Structure 1
Amino acid sequence: MRVLTGGVSPSSSSFEFVPLSVVSFGSTVIAEGCDAATSISWIHAWTVANGIITQVREYSNTSLTVTRIGNVVAGRRSAEIAPPSHCSSVWESQFSGRAGKPVPGLVLAI
């Protein structure tokens, strides 16, 4: 059985993570890749604080849209600025369609 973190059982073939895209939004870093040979697309979302990864989210064969909610000014939520009426997308996965099959979609709010 193959797991997203790269571990495999002895009977499985190997899987390499090669990022095709890496972007950051404040403390969130998104890496995305696709392995057409195994029909697997993947997305890693890391939260980084003081140079240390504090949280990891992994998505496999999933289309991901990242949205920013609320207003942040100088690292703090501003009470003086009215929140937007809707959350706009700041990033969308590009490689989930390369897996060759339909995939579910998720929204990551940051």
Structure 2
Amino acid sequence: MASNDVESPMPAEPETGNKATVTALYEALARGDTETVSGLLAHDLEWWFHGPPQCQHMMRVFTGESAHSEFRFEPRSVTAIDDGRVIAEGWEGAKAYWVHVWTVKDGLVTQFREYFNTWLTVRDLRRLGWEAGHESPTLWQSGPRDLATRSLPGLVLAI
């Protein structure tokens, strides 16, 4: 799968460019284009996983332990939540639900958080002081309608 120099998409707006970078990464994964995927990841990528150990599919793809076709990540939504983070979510019926939180800087993914079979709420704690009675604004929340009746453990990611 030869590819010339890998350039990450960088439109004028950082949120748009970061979303385009993450979208390009998923597209490259779907094609099995490991050269493009590796060109979009920082060499010192910080990784965090929450879920059953057997569900660390993305880690196995990135490290070459498994082929990209073993588990297909097909996002149903990709959302830029601020100037550095992009959230993607996908699900395959009631058995597999995943959320990926990507941190992108200068067109490269520098941090990756993967949540598997976990309901996620992202709140911004930076905008509020520690004043009593104020709730932090919710930036993003899991939304797979297919899993509305299923019980999933929930986490709050504070940024």
TM tier relative to shorter chain: 0.7 to 0.9
Q: 1:66 to 1:96 in 2, by over 3 A?
A: farther
Provide structure 2 residue ranges, at least 5 long, that are not aligned to the other structure.
1-53
Contact 1:47–1:54 (8 Å) recurs in 2? yes
Residue of structure 1 in register with 2:116 after alignment: 60
Contact 1:41–1:99 (8 Å) recurs in 2? no
User: What percent of counterpart residues are identical?
Assistant: 39
TM-fit CA distance, 1:25:
1.6
CA RMSD of the aligned region, Å?
A: 2.9
The structure with more strand, counted as a fraction of residues:
1
Residue of structure 1 in register with 2:87 after alignment: 30
Q: Secondary structure at the residue paired with 2:58?
A: coil
Contact 1:96–1:103 (8 Å) recurs in 2? no
- Spell out the pairing of 1:1-110 with structure 2 (5 A cutoff): 1-5=54-58, 7=60, 14-26=70-82, 27-36=84-93, 39-71=95-127, 83=129, 85-95=134-144, 98=147, 101-110=150-159
Structure-2-length-normalised TM-score: 0.52
Structure-1-length-normalised TM-score: 0.73
The structure with more helix, counted as a fraction of residues:
2
Q: How many residues are matched?
A: 97
Q: Following the alignment from structure 2 to structure 1, what is the Cα–Cα distance between the partners of residues 158 and 55?
A: 28
